[in-house]
């Protein structure tokens, strides 16, 4: 079906960029964009990827430097006790 639309300048630039970038016709770019924008919303499920960490639960990575300092202090105390 043929129809006439008045497009804002910024929308026309976006369409022309997509036509050039994707090497597709303006008709195809506009039709696909309208289909995508006007499609019934589907339920979007959030999928979280599991990240395996070397840190144990409860270890605050922002306090690792303080933990190292404490361990060094404990080592220094142990050396002084042996002397």
Q: What is the DSSP string of 20-51?
A: HHHT--HHHHHHHHHHHHHSPPPPPPP-PPP-
Residue 70 lies in a domain: no
Residue 53 lies in a domain: no
Q: CA dist 41 to 8, 28, 38, 44, 52, Å? A: 26, 22, 8, 8, 33
Q: What is the pLDDT of residue 77?
A: 80
Each residue's pLDDT tens digit, 12-69: 999 999 999 999 999 999 999 999 999 987 777 888 888 777 777 777 777 778 878 8
Kindly indicate the confidence band of residue 9, based on its pLDDT and cuts at 50, 70 and 90. very high
Q: What is the pLDDT of residue 14?
A: 96
Residue 25 lies in a domain: yes
Domain membership of residue 19 as a residue range: 9-38
Residue 63 lies in a domain: no
Residue 58 lies in a domain: no
Domain count along the chain: 1
Residue 24 lies in a domain: yes
Q: 18: exposed, middle or buried (C-beta count within 10 Å: 0-12, 13-18, 19+)?
A: middle
pTM: 0.49
pLDDT of residue 79 exceeding 90, the answer is: no
């Amino acid at each position: 079906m043929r129809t006439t639309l008045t497009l804002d300048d910024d929308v026309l630039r976006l369409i022309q960029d997509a036509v050039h970038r994707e090497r597709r016709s303006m008709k195809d770019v506009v039709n696909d964009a309208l289909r995508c924008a006007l499609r019934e919303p589907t339920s979007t499920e959030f999928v979280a990827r599991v990240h395996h960490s070397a840190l144990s639960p409860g270890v605050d990575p922002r306090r690792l430097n303080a933990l190292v300092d404490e361990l060094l202090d404990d080592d220094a105390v142990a050396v002084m006790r042996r002397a």
